[in-house]
Amino acid sequence: MLGLWTAGRRGMKIGLSAEDLSNLVLWIFICGIAGAKLLYVINEGDTGKPLKELLFQRSGLVFHGALIGASAAIIIFTRVKKMPVWATFDALAPSIALGHAFGRLGCFMTGCCYGKTCALPWAVTFPDGHPTHPGNVHPTQVYESLLNFSLYAGLALLFRKRKFDGHVFAAYLLGYAVIRFGIEFLRDDPRGNTLGGLAPGQLISIGLVIAGGILWAKLRSHPLKEV
């Protein structure tokens, strides 16, 4: 809700319809959940768990899948509604980081996405029955939440000074990729098979860096359009 409100305020400043943005958020939610679940099923497909269990268990949502699904929804919706695609992405990008920051606090309360064992003063211990019990672990969920709040603040400031349509979204892809790549080194929850010593989230983060760099290079040559 907070993400929707802030995105609407930014969108109106560049001439986007608040009603269109509100309708778009519904599709972002649906496609984001679908993408998050699909990527989870792909990651866990070789674990031997029944497909029904993977699809309908309470947990099992992967953020990168949500980002891909939500991005597809934005592209399709803006083309149907004849909205400026990259300007819309710019209005929404900071709110993605904001929503994700709150989402990671939810991860912390649920106990998923936990970190490796450590002896730091701020290490946390989860209740009996949790996979990490009784060890003290990095609160990686809180780390990522704080970093996403910081990313939101930086992107919100960048939005006011953006030089081209797609500027803020490209910066989001680059910024979040760096955050996630680093956090993965501290996480210890099951995340699928590694490749070359890198977790799936790190491999996707490399893809996000490439995508963000390509967008930045391609779109910066076009003047900022008035909408």
* pLDDT tens, position by position, 73-119: 999 999 999 999 999 999 999 999 999 999 999 989 988 889 999 99
Residue whose C-alpha is closest to residue 90's, from 221, 219, 206:
219
- Check whether 61 has a pLDDT greater than 90: no
- Torsion sign (Cα): 198, 140, 172, 217: negative
- Check whether 217 has a pLDDT greater than 60: yes
Phi, psi of 137 (to 5 degrees): -130, 160
Write the Ramachandran bin of 222: left for phi over 0, alpha for psi from -120 to 50, otherwise beta. Answer: beta
Q: How far apart are CA 152 and CA 38, in angstroms?
A: 26
Confidence of residue 211 (pLDDT cuts 50, 70, 90): very high
- Torsion sign (Cα): 196, 201, 205, 208: positive
What is the reported pLDDT for 58? 59
Task: List alpha helices for 82-139, DSSP H.
Answer: 85-110
Residue whose C-alpha is closest to residue 167's, from 209, 226, 222, 206:
222
Q: What's the pTM value of the predicted model, to 2 decimals?
A: 0.85
What crossing angle do the helices spanning 200-219 and 63-81 adopt, rounded to 10°? 30
What is the reported pLDDT for 146? 98
Chain mean position to CA 203: 15
Instruction: Name 106's Cβ contacts closer than 8 Å, sequence gap at least 6.
Output: none
Cis ω for the linkage preceding 134 (within 30 of 0): yes
Where are the domains positioned within the chain? 2-219
What is the reported pLDDT for 227? 46
What is the reported pLDDT for 213? 96
Which range has the top average pLDDT, 107-116, 129-138, 175-184? 175-184
Residue whose C-alpha is closest to residue 157's, from 227, 86, 93, 89:
93
Please provide the average confidence, as pLDDT, over all residues in the chain: 87
What is the reported pLDDT for 132? 72
